[in-house]
Amino acid sequence: MLDHLEIGLEAVATLFFALVILHALADFALQNEFIALSKVPGADLSCFFGTENQPKGVWIYSLAAHSLLHGGGVWLITGSPLFGLVEFFLHAVIDLLKSKEKINFHSDQLCHLTCKLAYAIIIGSGMV
């Protein structure tokens, strides 16, 4: 029994570490200024489009693209398209809450990492 628990804990820790690396890459290293600004509904994008030609609804595409990087990465690391899809939606909702100032940056990051920990526990413990 203890051997199984140790293997489970190692699997959970390894998977969580991989998912945290993915998160750091997708949320920081791969998120350029355009995505960071344009994924926020109503953001001033004049620095990209000028003051008169700002297209409406850019935030939807930018938030979706950013969330797809996260969801796709979760899918690649876990091998589960279901967890990738869950991550896509949860990441978008969490970022949208932050953009509407319902949560702050620290809460945003904690929510993202909690999702990654949940995937790691569910998969690494053999629940699925």
Residue 35: per-residue pLDDT? 97
Sequence-ordered list of residues with C-beta below 8 angstroms from that of 124, at least 6 positions apart, any chain: 8, 9, 11, 12, 13, 14, 15, 16
* Surface-to-core class of residue 78, CB atoms within 10 Å of its CB (0-12 exposed, 13-18 middle, 19+ buried): buried
Q: What angle do CA 40, 105, 68 make, to 5 degrees?
A: 50
pLDDT digits (tens, 9 = 90+) for 37-47: 999 999 999 99
First-to-last CA distance in the chain? 19
pLDDT band at 94 (very low <50, low <70, confident <90, very high): very high
User: Residue 1 — very low, low, confident or very high, per pLDDT cuts 50/70/90?
Assistant: very low
Residue 71 is predicted with a pLDDT of: 98
User: Residue 4: is its pLDDT beyond 60?
Assistant: no
Q: Which residue, among 31, 7, 18, has the nearest Cα to 119 in the 3D structure?
A: 18
The residue ranges of every structural domain in the chain are: 2-124
Residue 51 has pLDDT above 50, yes or no: yes
Burial 81-95 (b: 16+ CB within 10 A, else e): eebbebbbebbbebb
* pTM of the model as a whole: 0.92
Q: Is the pLDDT at 6 greater than 80, yes or no? A: no
